[in-house]
Amino acid sequence: MDNFKKKFVEEAFDLIDGLEKSLLLLEENPEDSSIIQKVFRIMHTLKGNSSMFGFSKMDQFTHELETLYDDIRNERVKVNRGILDVTLDSVDHLKVLLDEDADNDPATLKRHADLLGRIAALVTKKSDDIVNSQVDVVETIEEVASADSGVRTYYISFEPHEDIFKNGTNPLYLIDELNTLGQALAFAHFNKVPSIDKIKHERCYAYWEVLLATTLDVNSISDVFIFVEDECTLEISQVSDINLLSEDKFVATIKDIASTRKDLGISEIQKLASQVKTAQINNDLANINKGKTKSKEVVISSIRVSADKLDQLMNLVSELVTTQARLALFAEQNNVPGLQPISENVQKLSRQLRDNAFSIVLIPIENMLTRFQRLVRDLSKELGKDVVFLAEGAETELDKTIIEGLTDPLMHILRNSLDHGIEDAAVREKLGKPKQGKIVLKAFYSGASVHIQIHDDGAGIDPEKIRQKALALNLITADKKLTSKEIYDLIFIPGFSTAIKVTDVSGRGVGMDVVNRKIADIRGEVEVDSEVGVGTTITIKLPLTLSIIDGLLVSINDTFYVIPLNAVDKIYAVEHKELVDKFNNVIVLDGVQIPFFYLRKEFGVEIKEVTHEEIVVVKYEEKRVGLAVDSVVGEYQAVLKTLGRHFKAQEMISGATILGDGTVALVMDTNKMIKSFLIDLDKKLKE
Amino acid sequence: MAKTILIVDDSESIREVVSFTLENEGYKVLIAVDGSDALRFLDGTPIDLIITDLHMPNMDGIELIKAVRGMEIYQRIPILFLTTESQAAKKMEAKDAGATGWIIKPFVPAKLIAALNKVLR
């Protein structure tokens, strides 16, 4: 049972999250009956499950909530702020109740009582089902205790209605069940069966008389028929306080009567019963042999797997991909007949396995939206602002590690938007904006990455203000011309914060630089775009996954590098002389001028006289930039390994990967690399 | 041949407890998360019994029972629904829709098996 309990707690957390989400939705649409239904249903499930697994406080609590929402569902009570407040507080409380160790401390108990009181005040009629069910249990125990062990004989007449089959009932099973209660003697009567031409096979014409010797009472016997109470005529009466069926003479007489007559009838039985009243009492109980052994087979449409196991799976897949690369190389170098096709097959399979394993660890961002919704709700209330939070593309999926790393920075961005972005209702009205502020979270796929945008229709960020601040902090020089993007990027420099007032909500000293760093940790990028008076949009670009990337393997001076394939635009073969001695580092490709970096030069490697080299054109921000390499080796699935801490300081190389022959290839972060080249270029031009 | 029982419940823990109990009894268990999910099994697959929750998203238990009773081959199979004591009105509604019987939550395995024995041998 402990295992089930754990599962219950896990599931309950999910349910409570779902509840929270639905409640926030309900707040937006208090009249929407489908949401009310959903809220009710979740509470109902929580109640049912918590009672099953012995979480009695939670059972009691959800029962009260269920009652309240039953009233709402039946339109006896209308949803209002007060109800939602107490329900949301209850949601928090429910989470506490799931912790069995914590649910008995005085603070919890007090809160429990408080909330129950608040809920009770909202419910129109107090329900006493809980009390009832407890009484029930006691009664059953008493019943069992008071029932003496004496076997009695009962006469049961069971006449099903003709349409009893309609509900999937098989009356024979009920007769069988009577037999399990003790010793039974059943007589089936078919005299009501019509002639063959009038028979309808979906109707039941038979009826039964049963003599049952059992220790049970009438209630327990009628329990057998509980499902069919309304679909049959039933008569149960005790005819003797001994077991008549153990009297051979009685049984013989009964059988005799049954063979000559249609019905036995209760009066006949009673008459016979009195004749054997003096007979010996024999307390034998029918033994119920339930020893069935049947094969086990289950079909389950989904399973829950621990995150550890998934991490392990991903690690193994990564190792497999690495090993596969070795195999491919080995097959290529050793001309063993048949090895090549096997190696290719392994490559195909490992690629499929990789994609499959990835799709398993991808989870929709929907999972974190509830937290944001709650944050916006609570915070806007605290700040006295009226803000609505909308989300688009909630189904967009991301690696779970990325989602984990994303929640904190997103919370911070939302806090910023709420605190500094969205204006007070009064200010908004003065500006001719709708009174209610709006924050929209939009998630969508863009190539091999996912973009998450947070847009608010608040005051926006004044680039001039940032410039002034940056000047004051000596981050830029007065004569430097900056594009608006470059100005907004200044926000991410550590120690920079434009907030004039520091409030409790944001601006606690951690600024956008922390957001930037945390996003960079998961290989993402942050961009800010804003228009004064109109609003701010923060875009986060994220890789789909962290551990394996498709890359382009290139070589420079016999060293291998991997360029992430999603950054690559085109590859050109160019003559060596086109690349060297170009004073402006621009090359014409397909009739378009493209700036490029000659990586041998940038890496400080000796420049050799060769005839041809290759140039890989990659995307850099909105532009295209060429990276000249010795040669392009081919496509490569790179399993990313982090570099040691000595390499933490640089950003140009995001990781390393092991090639088939065991050599290490460095994975370039082309964006960071080009940015750093540009900064160097800038410095040089200044000198 | 092991009898096949289809369990329909949106709560994973209930599904687990029910299927664990039934498997122990030697039944073959099919699992669906709601009424509409259950329909995918009702394509001719031999099923001997359906145990369904009443409150579920997409398609609730009552709708499921009606749908099953509308299918030629499943017209006669027993259907048990899971319910709480407080939902007496629902009990009648489900019976009218064609349910065979009910299992009252919370239940212990013995209670579940007892209900099962009324409708399945």
Give residue-wise pLDDT tens across range A11-61.
888 888 888 888 888 888 888 888 888 888 888 888 888 877 778 888 888
Contact of A346 with A323, CB cutoff 8 Å: no
Task: State the pairing for strand pair B28-32/A297-299.
Answer: parallel
Q: What is the pLDDT of residue B114?
A: 83
Percent share of chain A, pLDDT over 90: 7
- Check residues A267 and A440 and name the one with the higher pLDDT: A440
Confidence label for A223 from pLDDT (cuts 50, 70 and 90): confident
Confidence label for A91 from pLDDT (cuts 50, 70 and 90): confident
Task: Please tell me the total number of residues recorded for chain A in this structure.
Answer: 687
Q: What is the pLDDT of residue A545?
A: 66
User: Is residue A126 scored above 50 in pLDDT?
Assistant: no
CB pairs under 8 A between A and B: 123
Q: What is the pLDDT of residue A142?
A: 37
Of A41, A48, A169, the CB nearest to B78: A169
Contact of A242 with A281, CB cutoff 8 Å: yes
**In A, residues 260-299, which contact B (CB 8 Å cutoff)?**
292-299
Q: Which residue does chain A place closest to B29, by CA atoms?
A: A298
Q: Nearest C-alpha of chain B: how many angstroms from A407?
A: 27
Backbone phi, then psi, for A507, in 5-degree steps? Answer: 65, 40
Domain covering A150-275 in this structure, CATH number: 3.30.70.1110
Residue with tokens 């096709």: A341
Q: Structural domain of residue B56, as residue ranges?
A: 4-119
DSSP 8-state secondary structure symbol assigned to residue A423: P
Confidence label for A448 from pLDDT (cuts 50, 70 and 90): low
What does the pLDDT average to over A322-350? 88
What does the pLDDT average to over A399-414? 85
Q: Nearest C-alpha of chain B: how many angstroms from A194?
A: 22
- Model pTM? 0.47
Number of domains in chain B: 1
Q: What is the pLDDT of residue A242?
A: 80
CB contact under 8 A, A53 and B13: yes
Contact of B64 with B38, CB cutoff 8 Å: yes
Q: CB contact, 8 Å: A445 with chain B?
A: no
Measure the CA–CA gap between A411 and A506, rounded to whole angstroms: 10
Contact of A660 with A596, CB cutoff 8 Å: no
Q: What is the 3-state secondary structure (H, E, C) of A545-562?
A: CCCEEEEEEEEECCEEEE
Closest CA to A150 of A283, A58, A320, A252: A283
CB contact under 8 A, B100 and A51: no
Mean pLDDT estimate for chain B = 87
**In A, residues 155-184, which contact B (CB 8 Å cutoff)?**
165-170, 173-174, 176-177, 180
Q: Which residue does chain A place closest to B113, by CA atoms?
A: A290
Domain A2-141: which topology? Four Helix Bundle (Hemerythrin (Met), subunit A) (1.20.120)
Tens digit of each residue's pLDDT (9 = 90 or more) over A349-405:
988 888 888 788 788 888 788 888 888 888 888 888 888 888 888 888 888 788 888
Domain A365-543 is classified in which CATH homologous superfamily?
A: Histidine kinase-like ATPase, C-terminal domain (3.30.565.10)
Q: Nearest C-alpha of chain A: how many angstroms from B35?
A: 14
**In A, residues 47-86, which contact B (CB 8 Å cutoff)?**
47-49, 51-53
Q: What is the pLDDT of residue A287?
A: 37
Phi-psi region of A509 (alpha: psi -120 to 50; beta: other; left: phi over 0): left
Tens digit of each residue's pLDDT (9 = 90 or more) over A272-320:
777 776 544 443 333 333 333 334 455 666 777 787 888 888 888 888 8
Measure the CA–CA gap between A643 and A640, rounded to whole angstroms: 9
Q: Identify residue A431 by its one-letter amino acid code.
A: L
Per DSSP, the three-state class of A247 is coil
Measure the CA–CA gap between A109 and A49, rounded to whole angstroms: 21
Contacts of A45 in chain B (CB under 8 A): 10-11, 55
User: Is residue A619 scored above 60 in pLDDT?
Assistant: yes
Q: Say how many C-beta atoms besides its own lie within 10 A of residue B71's C-beta.
A: 13
Q: What is the pLDDT of residue A55?
A: 83
Domain covering A307-362 in this structure, CATH number: 1.10.287
Q: What is the pLDDT of residue A283?
A: 38
User: Is residue A101 scored above 90 in pLDDT?
Assistant: no
Residue with tokens 């170098």: A333
Mean pLDDT estimate for chain A = 80
Out of A77-86, A155-164, A207-216, A569-578, least confident range: A77-86
- CATH label of the domain that carries residue B43: 3.40.50.2300
Q: Nearest C-alpha of chain B: how many angstroms from A530?
A: 42
Architecture per CATH, domain A548-686, reads as: Roll (2.30)
